[in-house]
Amino acid sequence: MAEGVPADAVGRRVQCDGERATVRYVGEVPPTQGPWLGVEWDEPGRGKHDGSHGGVQYFTCRHPTSGSFVRPQKVSFGVDYLTAVMKRYQGDLEEVMNEEITISRKTIEWKGVGKVLQKQRWEKRLYLSPVNLYVIHLDLTGNLLSSWVTVAAITEQLEELKHLLLCYNRLSPPPEPLSLTHAFTNLCILSLKSCALTWPQVLQCAPMWPHLEELYLDSNNISDLPDNVLQSLTILHLSNNPLDSESLVQIAELSRLEELNLASTGLSTIQFSDVPPGSKTAMFPSLRNLSIADNKVSEWWVINELDKLKSLVRLSCQRNPVMEWGNNPATAIQFLIARVAQLKFLCSCEIQPEERRGAELDYCKMFAAEWLENGGQRDLEKSHPSAEFTTQHPRYETLIQKYGAPEDGELKKQKPFALKNQLLTLTFVCPDEEDRQPVEKKLPGSMIVQKVKGLLYRLLKLPASELRLSYVSSKMEGKEIVINNDLKPLDFFSIEDGDQVLVRWTC
């Protein structure tokens, strides 16, 4: 073995010129003289080849351009955990009492240890100083760790450890995971972002974490999700993985799972085929928070499927094609709210009762004509919409029972998007000032209420004061509806062409 190169160098992690890599080969590379390290870079574009040189395959890589040969003196194999701590604090134990330690990008949080720290001294041995038993949060992100056995050698002496971050490491699975369970007895939160893991590797390691509740696996190489393990999980993040949507059902029996992040995974469909449309699935029974943002969902039937999740109250769905329906995101949001009954938060915004009411009413009006054409009747006892309509709109009959069937004058027809189709002719009236003449104006239904108020200040030459708006529908005489959210579009309040807007203000 070359001087300065550990005997177990193959498989070890190294750093060279600020980049991390894994050693795959140690030896000569003819016709040159002297030892070389064959490394596979974490960043595939950093290398020059796939481990071959001069027609000889010295090692293999996941990517055709992630391999390089470097001289041993150019790389660092890193230092052990205690050396890093000692180098940073140089034995000053008072400095670490009751505080959070940062070693470069590595963070260690100490639980209060009192005067015991004053009685301990740092010792570089094969085991850690007793003071480490009080660590509850350990961040080892971006280090040169290469094995779970190495990680366990640290954590087995941290009896209070609950939160462990190992992001941007490359850890080989242990040959006997159960033998390392004692090293993670109280571990509840584990972050393994960007560790080049596959799901089979996660499953191989799973027996080590008997009490794990939160697992963060963002930006790995996970595609299939076979088998049901990790039954204690309440939070699972899988964003930025190339997931196969059909494999999602494989983790659907995680009975305690409350939060699932599937953002940026390439998903276009999600289907729970154990029950028909309009029913609740037995899958993901506790799931309350779901993110499918930045995916390829383009069909409304996928949104209908989400209504089958009986516990779902939070959803992130932004930047999917379906949310640009008809080039009108505001209408798409209304449709989504109407289709998922129990939703309380959408894209981090709370859904207010009046917002849900407006969304459901507009949804009923938009598809009323189609409902009537497919067997729906205003006499609900005689209403039998076709199976095709019910599949496309599982909640429609429930909403009709809730609000009643729209009258003929309330029916809305879906039109191709064009500005002229979105303009509303509205009459603005100041009921408290009889001398002011009503003003008629054409405005786009997508116009935000706040901008409408700004227009009214100029149009009606109103004094600087707080405006209060409401409207009277041309189809519901005598009923005044308050416009009480400045950040919503006019469409949100179901304002229609020909309605009268009442303008009041407080001086």
- Dihedral sign computed on CA atoms, order 262, 267, 269, 273: negative
Residues 6+ apart with CB under 8 A from 496: 424, 473, 474, 475
Cα–Cα distance, 411 to 31 (Å, whole number): 82
pLDDT in tens, 453-465: 888 877 877 765 6
Binning pLDDT at 50, 70 and 90, where does residue 5 land?
confident
DSSP string, 268-294: -----TTS-TTS--SSSTT--EEE--S
Which range (12-26, 90-104, 230-244, 362-376) has the least confidence? 90-104
| Percent of the chain residues topping a pLDDT of 90 | 54
* Residue 342, number of CB atoms within 10 A of its CB: 13
Looking at residue 414, what is its pLDDT?
53
Contact 84, 108 (CB under 8 A): no
Residues paired with residue 190 on neighbouring β-strands, in sequence order: 164, 215
Strands (E), 312-372: 314-316, 345-346, 349-350
Mean pLDDT, the chain, rounded, equals 85
Most confident of 102-116, 119-133, 157-171: 157-171
Cα–Cα distance, 98 to 470 (Å, whole number): 57
pLDDT, greater one: 467 or 308: 308
Which of 326, 302, 327 has the alpha carbon at shortest distance from 317? 302
In the predicted structure, residue 93 carries a pLDDT above the cut 50: no
Crossing angle for the helix pair 396-403 and 353-366, nearest 10 degrees?
Answer: 110
pTM: 0.72
pLDDT in tens, 315-354: 999 999 999 887 778 889 999 999 999 999 999 889 999 8
* Residue 176, number of CB atoms within 10 A of its CB: 9
Contact 212, 188 (CB under 8 A): yes
Cα–Cα distance, 52 to 141 (Å, whole number): 31
Strand order from edge to edge, sheet including 466-472: 439-444, 423-429, 500-506, 466-472, 480-483
In the predicted structure, residue 227 carries a pLDDT above the cut 90: no
pLDDT in tens, 479-506: 888 998 887 888 888 888 889 999 988 7
In the predicted structure, residue 132 carries a pLDDT above the cut 70: no
Residues paired with residue 448 on neighbouring β-strands, in sequence order: 489
Most confident of 125-129, 266-270, 418-422: 266-270
Looking at residue 466, what is its pLDDT?
79
Query: What is the identity of the amino acid at 167?
Result: C
